[in-house]
Amino acid sequence: MTDFEWLKPAVVLGSVLYALIGVLLLWVSFALIDKLTPYKLWEEIVEHKNVALGIVVAGMFIAIGQIVAAAIHG
């Protein structure tokens, strides 16, 4: 018999809540790093098509995402 413990509403709600917290922390960390840099990251990537900076920011998102996931998972 299979165990459907993960389908209980409390478990699903907890997972959604932790996902939202993770996304919020990722967004806040990006905003903080954007404030600490001498230029606007988003403007530099989107308007000036700075691919190198886009790669750096993508790596930053991956690293921060892993840190947040590890902190939430335990």
How many CB atoms neighbour CB 41 within 10 A? 19
Predicted confidence (pLDDT) per residue in 1-58, tens digit: 457 777 788 888 888 888 888 888 888 988 998 899 898 988 999 999 999 999 998 9
Give the list of residues 6+ apart from residue 21 with CB closer than 8 angstroms, or none. Answer: 72
Tell me the pTM: 0.70
Q: Secondary structure of 19-68 in the HEC alphabet?
A: HHHHHHHHHHHHHHHHHHCCCCHHHHHHCCCCHHHHHHHHHHHHHHHHHH
